[in-house]
């Protein structure tokens, strides 16, 4: 019988995404046909020990399990806990770089929520520190590990069921309250559509074009961006980025917005010579894949629908990948490397530079 590798986790931050990640860690891996790795949360940290304790009590169904999870009132205390193998950073955008750096220097492996950092320079620094400390590091773009995402890449790149790809449209948009204090409207928190929602539209673009076998991991040669900025705070409310991939002859259009919601029927559309491959809502948590294969008649197609039910929230698939890599002594994930995170951050840097979107120096800084 193959032994099960159990990874112990420390959760940094007690917000919405940390709640879902924590609860997913507690789901029996057998429910998703996983038998080689398992997860054990052993610590949760917030800015007060009371808040961390409340989080554990609220989101742990078993009192017996809850008793094994230690609350901390500071992040540094959690990172000093020898029982923690891997730290999950689920704090707001502007603190990802700081707490990931802290965890790596404390000798912990790290899974950091998206966006990885505020800019590419910070991402490059984190990669260097992880290599120096010989610790695993990955940006938590959970979508890349969904069964649907993996199946779609196979259909496109290996099976080539829609033929050579010509155009790719990716989007994620959702209406955000017109409140200047909301984190997505706050430049000091790394707010705006690009770093929050644009991560998803960009990751679909990269999985389709950057990972195209004939592209050979070449970066896009042309990146052009346009933004509509908030009159309240100056962050981007809507952004469109076009990318040219000349090696595979693909033009990509990637969009995000805080002003409107994505159309339900198509948030991702990959167009090829033989048909279209479409992902309906939601591009961050996809459950359905629709394929339109063209017929001999203009504007008519044969439709195929593939359903991918999710037994929990879906964050456990990236956690499983992290556990396997750490078990195997890897410092990066082959499916979503640090270089790809750096490429995504460099695309965001270029989009912001072209539109004069600058965040406060305090959150853009790179520690010496």
User: If DSSP states are collapsed to H, E and C, what string results for 110-160?
Assistant: EEEECCCCCCHHHHHHHHHHHHHHCCCEEEECHHHHCHHHHHHHHHHHHCC
Q: What is the pLDDT of residues 208-251, one digit of tens each?
A: 999 999 999 999 999 999 999 999 999 999 999 999 999 999 99
DSSP type of residue 313: S
Q: 20: exposed, middle or buried (C-beta count within 10 Å: 0-12, 13-18, 19+)?
A: middle
- Reduced to 3 states (helix: H, G, I; strand: E, B; else coil), residue 224 is strand
Query: Rounded to whole angstroms, what are the CA distances from 216 to 212, 220, 275?
Result: 7, 11, 24
Kindly list the catalytic residues: 114
Query: What is the four-CA torsion angle of 322, 323, 329, 334, rounded to 10 degrees?
Result: -30
Tokens 């995402």 sit on residue: 149
The answer to whether 181 and 92 are in contact (CB under 8 A) is: no
Tokens 């940006």 sit on residue: 139
Whole-angstrom Cα distance, residue 161 to residue 307? 17
Locate the domains of the chain by residue range. 5-141+314-331, 147-309+348-354
Structurally, what CATH architecture does the domain formed by 5-141+314-331 represent?
3-Layer(aba) Sandwich (3.40)
Q: Is 330 left (phi over 0), alpha (psi -120 to 50) or beta?
A: beta
Domain spanning 147-309+348-354, CATH class: alpha beta
- Reduced to 3 states (helix: H, G, I; strand: E, B; else coil), residue 336 is coil
pLDDT tens for the chain, residues 1 to 368? 579 999 999 999 999 999 999 999 999 999 999 999 999 999 999 999 999 999 999 999 999 999 999 999 999 999 999 999 999 999 999 999 999 999 999 999 999 999 999 999 999 999 999 999 999 999 999 999 999 999 999 999 999 999 999 999 999 999 999 999 999 999 999 999 999 999 999 999 999 999 999 999 999 999 999 999 999 999 999 999 999 999 999 999 999 999 999 999 999 999 999 999 999 998 999 999 999 999 999 889 999 999 999 988 999 999 999 999 999 999 999 999 999 999 999 999 999 999 999 999 999 999 98
Establish whether the linkage from the previous residue to 246 is cis, with ω within 30° of 0: no
Q: Read off the pTM.
A: 0.97
Q: What is the SS3 string spanning 281-292?
A: CCCCCCCEEEEE
Residues forming a β-bridge with 245: 250
Residue-by-residue DSSP string for 247-279: TTTEEEEEEEESSS---TT-SEEEEESSEEEEE
**Count of CB atoms situated within 10 Å of the CB of 256:** 28
Q: What is the pLDDT of residues 277-311, one digit of tens each?
A: 999 998 999 999 999 999 999 889 999 999 999 98
Whole-angstrom Cα distance, residue 20 to residue 330? 26
Write b or e for each residue in 94-109: b if 16 or more Cβ atoms lie within 10 A of its Cβ, otherwise e: bbbbbbbbbbbebebb
Whole-angstrom Cα distance, residue 134 to residue 104? 9
- Reduced to 3 states (helix: H, G, I; strand: E, B; else coil), residue 220 is coil
The answer to whether 278 and 173 are in contact (CB under 8 A) is: no
Query: Rounded to whole angstroms, what are the CA distances from 207 to 141, 200, 210?
Result: 12, 11, 6
């Amino acid at each position: 019988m193959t032994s099960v590798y159990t990874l112990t986790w420390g959760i940094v931050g007690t917000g919405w995404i940390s709640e879902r990640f924590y609860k997913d860690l507690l789901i029996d891996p057998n429910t998703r046909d996983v038998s080689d790795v398992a997860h054990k949360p052993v610590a949760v940290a917030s800015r007060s020990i009371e808040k961390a304790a409340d989080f554990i009590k609220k989101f742990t169904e078993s009192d017996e399990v809850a008793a094994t999870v230690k609350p901390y009132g500071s992040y540094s205390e959690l990172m000093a806990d020898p029982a923690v193998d891997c730290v999950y950073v689920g704090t707001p955008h502007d603190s990802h770089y700081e707490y990931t750096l802290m965890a790596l220097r404390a000798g912990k492996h790290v899974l950091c929520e998206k966006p990885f950092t505020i800019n590419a320079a910070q991402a490059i620094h984190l990669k260097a520190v992880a290599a120096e400390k010989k610790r695993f590091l990955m940006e938590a773009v959970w979508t890349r590990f969904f069964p649907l995402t993996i199946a779609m890449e196979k259909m496109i790149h290996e099976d080539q069921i829609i033929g050579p790809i010509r155009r790719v449209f990716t989007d994620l948009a959702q209406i955000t309250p017109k409140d200047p204090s909301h984190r997505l409207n706050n430049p000091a928190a790394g707010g705006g559509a690009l770093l929050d929602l644009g991560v998803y539209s960009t990751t679909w673009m990269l999985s389709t074009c950057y990972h195209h076998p004939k592209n050979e991991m070449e970066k896009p040669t042309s990146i052009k961006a346009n933004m509509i900025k908030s009159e309240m705070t100056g962050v981007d409310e809507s952004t469109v980025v076009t990318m040219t991939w000349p090696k595979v002859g693909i033009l990509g259009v990637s969009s995000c917005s805080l002003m409107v919601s994505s159309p339900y029927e198509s948030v991702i559309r990959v167009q090829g010579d033989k048909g279209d491959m479409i992902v309906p809502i939601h591009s961050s948590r996809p459950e359905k894949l629709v394929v339109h294969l063209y017929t001999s008649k203009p504007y008519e197609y044969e439709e195929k629908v593939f359903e991918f039910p999710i037994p929990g929230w879906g964050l456990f698939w990236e956690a499983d990948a992290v556990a396997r890599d750490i078990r195997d002594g890897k410092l990066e994930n082959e499916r979503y490397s640090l270089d790809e995170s750096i490429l995504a951050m460099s695309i965001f840097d270029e989009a912001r530079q072209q539109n004069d979107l600058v965040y406060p120096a305090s959150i853009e800084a790179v520690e010496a």
